Amino acid sequence: MDVVKAVETYVTRLVSTPSVMKVLLLYSHTTPIVSLASTQSTPLSFQVYLTDRIDNKKRDRMPHMKCVCFLQASEDSLEAMEAELREPKYWRISPSFRIGWQCSFATCRLQQCS
């Protein structure tokens, strides 16, 4: 099994919906994963017009853009997601966590925040 191809397929599925202009928010652990698995033109072909880090405090508010998040289920990334959900900078947020044992914890914690 080609691991890079598997990750590329996952990232492609992640950004393929919704089929509108969107922002891709990453975390320090997921940024290199996306960089390794896809070219810059791949997200653009799925209407991802901005890629940024969720822990970037200087992000502009863009309520007309939808948002897809690819985060690691860690304490820091969950805190950043909670802050984003409290004061959203985008219209709708679709979180996706790297597969791991912490995913159920992350989902429960985000449901409490919503």
Report the CATH number that the domain containing residue 51 is assigned in CATH: 3.40.50.2060
Position 95 scores a pLDDT of 66
Position 19 scores a pLDDT of 81
Nearest to 14 by CA among 82, 99, 106, 104: 99
Model confidence over 77-108: pLDDT tens digits? 888 888 888 888 888 776 665 433 344 444 44
**Helices marked H in the chain:** 3-16, 31-37, 41-45, 75-86, 103-113
Q: Which domain holds residue 28?
A: 3-113
Model confidence over 20-67: pLDDT tens digits? 888 888 988 888 888 888 888 888 889 999 999 998 989 999 988 888
What is the domain count for the chain? Answer: 1
